[in-house]
Amino acid sequence: MKAICDRKKLLRAFRLASLATARRSPKPILENIKLEVDAKSATVVATNLETSIRLDVPGFEVELPGSVVLPADRFGAILAKGTSERLALDCNGSKLAVAGEASKYSLPVESPDLFPASGRFAEEQFCTLPAGTFCEAVRRTVFATDEGATRYAVSGVLFEQGEDRLHVVATNGRCIAVQAVPVESAGSTEKRFGVVLAETLKIAARVLADCEGDIRLAFADNSAWIAAGAVEICGRLVEGRFPRWREHIPDGAGATKITLPVGRLLAAIEQAAITTSEQHMGVHLAFGSSKLMLHNEGAERGESRVEMPVDYDGPELAVTLNPFYLADFLRVLDSSTEVTAQVVSAETVVALTTNDNYTFAIAPMCKDKKNG
C-alpha cells in the first residue's frame, strides 16, 4: 500500500472510527484501525465485534492499492500532533513508513488479514429519515435503557418500523421513553423491528452529529445497519424479548392534564433531590392551589421542600416519583419548552408528553421506599 493523504481529513475520520475500537481487548488488533485503499477510494474500518464503523476518507492520492492496520495510539498521535498538510504512507507488509514535510516515522504493523472482515450496507429493505431526527430520537430514549439487564432485551433501544412511522423505545422496567418519527420506506412495507445496543447508538449519534442529510436504517442477519453518505455503522442486535411497551403507556383515561415548564420543573426536581438517600429516594409531588410542592424527607439526609407555580387550580393530586429518572427525561428537552403531565392517582403510572410525539411514562414509588 502506497498513498498520500490529507492529514486533517484522515484525522477526522480516524477519530470517529476510534469510537468503535475495543478497549483492553484480549484481541489487541481490535484496538487498532484498518485502512483500505483502492484506486478510487480510501476507507477506515474499526470494530469491537459488537459495533463496526466504515468511513470513506477523501483527499487520497493512491499509487499502490492495499490495506494496513494502523496502530491507533501512535498513528493517531502522528495525525494529531503533525503540522504537515499531507502525509505519505508506505507499507511493505510488516512496517509502515509515514513521512511529512519535516518528520518521518517507521511503525511495526500487524497483518490486515488478521483484522475481522466487515460487510457493507446492501439491504434492499430499509427506511430513511433525517440524521438529525435519528440522533434526537436516540438521545431521547437511550438514557432509559438498563445496560446491565439480562432477563429482557432492555439493554438496548427498540426500533419498530411501520410503513411510514418509526417508534424508538427504551425502558429499564421502571420508566419508558418513546419517540415516534415519520420515515420513508424502501422495499417491502412489512413491519420490521430490532433492539439495538445502547452503546452502538451512542457511537452512531456521535458519528452522525454533523450529518445534514438522511440516513438509511435496516435490520438483517441479527444486525442493525445505519448508513449516511460516507459512513456505515453496523451493530449487533440484542437477543431476547422486549417488553410489550404499549401496555405500559397510559391511555389518558381519567387523567388530569397539567402543563409544566421544562426548565423550572428540572430545577425544582434537582433541588428536591438533594436530600434523597437509598432509603428515601422518592420525591413527593403535590399539585394544587396553583402550585406544585416537591418534598423529600429522611432521617439520615434531612428534608427538602421546593415550591413552584403551575397552571392548575383543581383538587389536590399527589404522586411520589424517582427524581433521577424524571430529571434524565427533562434534560433531553429544550428548557424553554413545556411538557404535559397526565396524573390519575398516587398508584398509577404518570405520563409526560411533548407536542412532537415524545412520551415518557414513569411508575410511582411508595413515598418512603427507594424504588418502585
Residue 250, all three cell numbers = 397510559
The reply to whether 290 and 340 lie within a common domain is yes
| pLDDT for 148 | 83
State the total domains in the chain: 3
Pairing of strands 126-130, 51-56: unpaired
In a domain, residue 6? The reply is yes
Q: What is the DSSP string of 272-326?
A: HGGG--SSS--EEEEEETTEEEEEEEETTTEEEEEEEE-S--SS-EEEEE-HHHH
The reply to whether 182 and 89 lie within a common domain is no
Name the one residue in this structure whose C-alpha cell is 452503546.
199
Q: What is the DSSP string of 334-347?
A: -TTSEEEEEE--TT
Residue 187, all three cell numbers = 422495499
Q: What pTM, to 2 d.p., does this model score?
A: 0.91
**Is 151 strand, coil or helix?**
coil
CB 370 within 8 A of CB 296: no
In a domain, residue 119? The reply is no
The reply to whether 32 and 91 lie within a common domain is yes
The reply to whether 344 and 297 lie within a common domain is yes
Residue 287 sits in a domain whose CATH number is 3.10.150.10
pLDDT by residue for the chain (372 residues), tens only, comes to 999 999 999 999 999 999 999 988 889 999 999 999 998 899 999 999 999 999 999 999 999 999 999 999 999 999 999 999 999 999 998 999 999 999 999 999 999 999 998 888 888 889 999 999 999 999 999 999 998 887 788 999 999 998 789 999 999 999 999 999 999 988 765 668 899 999 999 999 999 999 999 999 999 888 999 999 999 999 999 999 999 999 999 999 999 999 999 999 999 999 999 999 988 899 999 999 999 999 999 878 999 999 999 999 999 999 999 999 999 999 999 999 999 999 999 999 999 999 999 999 999 997 544 433
| pLDDT for 191 | 64
The reply to whether 238 and 263 lie within a common domain is no
The reply to whether 265 and 347 lie within a common domain is yes
In a domain, residue 370? The reply is no
How far apart CA 302 and CA 182 sit, in angstroms, is 47
Strand order through the sheet with 33-37: 66-70, 33-37, 42-47, 51-56, 231-236, 223-228, 214-220, 126-130, 184-186
Amino acid (1-letter code) at residue 197:
L
The reply to whether 239 and 302 lie within a common domain is no
| pLDDT for 365 | 92
| pLDDT for 371 | 38
CA dihedral 328, 329, 334, 337 (to 10 degrees): -140
Q: Select from 245, 271, 287 the last residue of a domain.
A: 245
In a domain, residue 322? The reply is yes
Domain extent at residue 287? 249-362
